[in-house]
Structure 1
């Protein structure tokens, strides 16, 4: 794979940039970043850098819940097996065992910290979602689990831990010297660029859904952490595996909104434009089949009926119950004149969760010394080739805690000797006036959706790679002065890595469906693919 990857996205002169020194730098203010912060030793100085307001992470928008073995009829072995089955042969069993067994403790800890999960008669209300064999999903506020968890965690981080938090601060690049991460170069509108030097750095920047035209992700999810780690030389893995959520509200011309999998867990059915319930034709589990199966079935139905979407039908489930169970979804649908208890909801798949990311071990260590990572920016081996529903917030908690503890121990073991290391940066050209950032961004998103969406093939992927490389030639070598340009460079980098990984995997597995290689090939491809920075 050939591509252009600048070592740093901006030109800088160290004497003209301010410097800040901390023991641990946490990049990202979602569930993984805040949980990592809570695990740090209070003797250490800590800085949390958030690209936007803390409430704007993927975590805060999560409608689904957290999976954990909490019911009397459930066992750890059941949750493990469900995760392994969904992962289509690529899960790391040791990782799965560890995360599943630590799940109940983390859920109870969230309750101790003030998270209010939904209850029934004084007991946690446990739901079921696609791929799960038992009721084990805890939700909050019906369909606003992430929002409630983040409310409680942000309050704890600010009021109890007194954490230093820089919001609305863009992380331009990781700083490296002697094959070690030394912190990051960050920017905000008020103070400009700042070198943040740190003994240990924890990357928790979330996902990359914005490289696709159709996505559930908020605008901040542009793959900044993936791209920065790639440029710094950390290994990325499983980048071909983007999970598509099967049911995204489809209203032409509007932004996309997630219709939680819990809706199908409550008994909603999927019908095509002709009114035919089609999921039993594809899988015996019907609407509760794993997300890859449902997404591919919907894509097939859209093609067969020549219609832009399919429909979710809740009309048989009881009007008041559905409106009370899913207040956020009901409100969003009302904005478009839809009553979820009566009207069929138009849905289609959209990019939802980036399974691939920075490769980490059991304690969140990356392949770059001094850099830890947690959450959606990582590839831990938990999800394999397809994430089991409601295992993502769980992963952020477990790996956030583990990365925080490991980074804390490493920082405590280092002497309190700070020195700004001289940095070199290859010359870059100033941004040209004729480069329309929004136009390139829109073209990239449409291209990636067409070439690397639910269905892919070699010809489409190769053509996409050529187009992206052409954009990279003039976009990656330029110097920008604000997040719009840096985001575009990051999106181009992540898109090219994803396309390259999708081309190499010549089989269909989990979320990855190659129409020219439609079968799963365990003989040649039951392996995880990695990428390192191209020199």
Structure 2
């Protein structure tokens, strides 16, 4: 593979969700040249997933609430978060939500304080919606910044280093031509990896490519086993985001024969209604609450029956009499999509949603590799075993701003390092594995991994299934000759995606096997209890192209005192 052209810029931003938009506009305002690469169109990724009604961000009410907010984060993290990052987030989120209009988003504040998902205390909630209008607003904003160059339908496939610094990247453009980007810094804002799972609540571009780019450049990953699974609709409209608060009006949860699936798994002392009531307070599955049996019941039946049709929620029609905003906004949004919770057979199943872990960064989004940043859902740190509702959106703003400020200093104080283009090309070509003379297709690799991960690395995990899945990934890797597929320009992007899926699935399966306990979003049926011996974070890196895992006890000890 040889590049058709070389383009020079100050900063390459990969991803165009809220984090990517925030950092790009901040850098452009400071006069820096920015190339934004996005796999689909501008305003993409989980931030702009079209089959959800809205996004929320919770903010501190006053100075006293900062400590309370921090306690909420620490309580649900179960010792898996970075304290410094959490404190910075709590200190700065109030100011950052005021900056949403600068990136084309006009949030509205809910009239009453409300508890976000997993939160113990109520606070102010800002809501975001109307994705198409936001996209138009962003295009207008970008027109004011000729120093932002947008590369849509493009994929960054590899980073380039000069010495220990990241100094560029290889990009496949909308015509699958190879482009070399020469820059002073790269900011990854590629989101999570939901698309690694067959059933997920993400657009197709949320595929973990940023994790692999960072890892291969020398950065580390952390907390990768903590993945949010949220029930999503399998019917009447597939992949529509389900609103957990509707369970307050749910009468039962049944299989195709109308038999309650909850009663089969509930322990003594926990009623069906109690389980549903607790489950109505949070979207993602967690081992930390008795409501876990709701999701476990679904997955057990899916594994037993090998059916992915989902399970029906039986609703009380009184749900349509509740005039609170939290209900009317969601129910009206469903109505616009032709969904009625009472008259339609509404079925759900566990869908992969968001990653609580990711690339290890500091409070400015810096990785351990000079010139390389990671922000948004891609970054690991503020969240732990569980994630507070609204913090994902807010983190994009807080750490997008901080990354832009730090990157600005880095770019201003550094030079554009000279690039040995031929050496970079040779390194790229060496990274393309050739395992056999024949090859299964990239599509086969991708689809088999997605099926495998959804069935064996979902809500319920155990050594037998995880080991079996890992063996299958190894077999797929041996059967896939990537070098045959990159010769065809039309297969290049899918070939790199297949290669990334092979490595990323290996990483996740090994991480899930290594954490031999249950904690937050990670549930091991063969180790069903939390174990203090695993009160540490699992770091992942590549050494000589091999995945290495290491438990480490601490992120950072620094504590910040909130100014009054």
Tell me whether the two structures share a fold, i.e. TM-score over 0.5. Answer: yes
In 2, the alpha carbon distance for the partners of 1:282 and 1:74 equals 33
1:454 matched residue in structure 2:
459
Give matches, 1:336-355, under 5 Å. 338-340=339-341, 343=344, 345-355=346-356
Q: Any idea what the Cα deviations from partners look like across 1:91-124, whole Å, max 9, x if unmatched?
A: 222211211221111111214665333356xxx5
In 2, the alpha carbon distance for the partners of 1:384 and 1:347 equals 26
Find the partner of 2:12 among 15, 25, 29: 25
2:106 matched residue in structure 1:
116
Question: Is the CA contact 2:46–2:203 (under 8 Å) kept in the aligned structure 1?
Answer: yes
In 2, the alpha carbon distance for the partners of 1:280 and 1:516 equals 27
2:128 matched residue in structure 1:
140
Q: How many residues align?
A: 506
Find out whether 1:517 has 2:505 as its counterpart: no
Find out whether 1:259 has 2:242 as its counterpart: yes
Find out whether 1:272 has 2:253 as its counterpart: yes
CA gap 1:389/1:74 in 2 versus in 1, 3 angstroms: farther
Question: Is the CA contact 2:16–2:37 (under 8 Å) kept in the aligned structure 1?
Answer: yes
CA gap 1:406/1:199 in 2 versus in 1, 3 angstroms: same
In 1, the alpha carbon distance for the partners of 2:367 and 2:195 equals 24
CA gap 1:488/1:521 in 2 versus in 1, 3 angstroms: same
In 2, the alpha carbon distance for the partners of 1:340 and 1:326 equals 8
Find the partner of 2:284 among 270, 291, 303: 291
Q: Which moved more, 1:211-220 or 1:156-165?
A: 156-165
SS at match of 1:54: coil
CA gap 1:271/1:431 in 2 versus in 1, 3 angstroms: farther
Give matches, 1:18-167, under 5 Å. 18-40=5-27, 42-61=30-49, 63-69=53-59, 71=61, 75-111=65-101, 115-118=105-108, 126-132=113-119, 133-141=121-129, 144=130, 152-159=137-144, 163-167=148-152
CA gap 1:168/1:511 in 2 versus in 1, 3 angstroms: same
In 1, the alpha carbon distance for the partners of 2:188 and 2:53 equals 24
Aligned-pair distance for 1:281?
Answer: 3.9
CA gap 1:473/1:192 in 2 versus in 1, 3 angstroms: same
Give matches, 1:160-175, under 5 Å. 163-175=148-160
In 1, the alpha carbon distance for the partners of 2:205 and 2:228 equals 18
In 2, the alpha carbon distance for the partners of 1:364 and 1:530 equals 17
2:539 matched residue in structure 1:
530
Q: Which moved more, 1:181-190 or 1:278-287?
A: 278-287
Structure 1, unaligned runs of 5 or more: 1-11
In 1, the alpha carbon distance for the partners of 2:26 and 2:234 equals 40
Question: Is the CA contact 1:34–1:154 (under 8 Å) kept in the aligned structure 2?
Answer: no
Flag the structure with more relative contact order, 1 or 2, with Cα contacts below 8 A and sequence separation at least 6: 1
TM-score by length of 2: 0.81
2:162 matched residue in structure 1:
177
Question: Is the CA contact 2:41–2:153 (under 8 Å) kept in the aligned structure 1?
Answer: yes
Aligned-pair distance for 1:39?
Answer: 2.2
Q: Which moved more, 1:507-516 or 1:319-328?
A: 319-328
Find out whether 1:300 has 2:302 as its counterpart: no
SS at match of 2:128: coil
TM-score by length of 1: 0.86
In 2, the alpha carbon distance for the partners of 1:404 and 1:431 equals 44
Find out whether 1:250 has 2:234 as its counterpart: yes
Q: Any idea what the Cα deviations from partners look like across 1:123-177, whole Å, max 9, x if unmatched?
A: x565443212214322134xx5x66655544543443575221111111111123
In 2, the alpha carbon distance for the partners of 1:191 and 1:467 equals 30
Question: Is the CA contact 1:76–1:101 (under 8 Å) kept in the aligned structure 2?
Answer: yes
SS at match of 2:399: helix
Question: Is the CA contact 2:154–2:173 (under 8 Å) kept in the aligned structure 1?
Answer: yes
In 2, the alpha carbon distance for the partners of 1:74 and 1:286 equals 29
Find the partner of 1:489 among 481, 492, 499: 499
Aligned-pair distance for 1:460?
Answer: 1.0
SS at match of 1:292: coil
Question: Is the CA contact 1:237–1:530 (under 8 Å) kept in the aligned structure 2?
Answer: yes
Aligned-pair distance for 1:401?
Answer: 1.1
CA gap 1:428/1:436 in 2 versus in 1, 3 angstroms: closer
Aligned-pair distance for 1:241?
Answer: 1.3
Give matches, 1:380-529, under 5 Å. 381-416=381-416, 418-421=418-421, 422-423=423-424, 424-425=426-427, 426=430, 428-429=433-434, 435-475=440-480, 477-478=482-483, 479-480=485-486, 481=489, 482-522=492-532, 524-529=533-538
